[in-house]
Amino acid sequence: MYLPKHFEETRPEVLHELVRAQPLALLITLGERGLDANPIPLILDADPAGGPGILRGHVARANPVWREARGDVEALAVFQGPQAYISPSFYPSKADGGKVVPTWNYVTVHGRGSLRAVDDADWLRAFVTRLTERHEGPRAAPWAVSDAPDDYIATMLRAIVGIEIVLTSLVGKWKVSQNRPAADRAGVVRGLEDDATRDAHAQAAAMAALVASGASA
Q: Would you give per-residue pLDDT tens digits along the chain (217 residues)?
A: 999 999 999 999 999 999 999 999 999 999 888 999 999 999 999 999 999 999 999 999 999 999 998 889 999 999 999 999 999 999 998 878 788 899 999 999 999 999 999 999 999 999 999 999 999 999 999 999 999 999 999 999 999 999 999 999 999 999 999 889 999 988 999 898 887 777 778 888 877 776 666 554 4
SS3 content of the chain, % helix, strand, coil (to 5): 35, 35, 30
Nearest to 163 by CA among 124, 130, 111, 122: 124
Q: Has residue 109 been placed in a domain?
A: yes
Q: Has residue 140 been placed in a domain?
A: no
- The rounded distance, in Å, linking the Cα atoms of 60 and 202 is 32
Q: Has residue 58 been placed in a domain?
A: yes
Q: Has residue 19 been placed in a domain?
A: yes
Answer for the pair 33, 198: CB distance below 8 angstroms, yes or no: no
Q: Has residue 126 been placed in a domain?
A: no
CATH number at residue 173: 2.30.110.10
Domain enclosing residue 24, as ranges:
5-117+162-213
Q: Has residue 130 been placed in a domain?
A: no
Q: Has residue 138 been placed in a domain?
A: no
Q: Has residue 127 been placed in a domain?
A: no
Instruction: Say how many domains are in the chain.
Output: 1
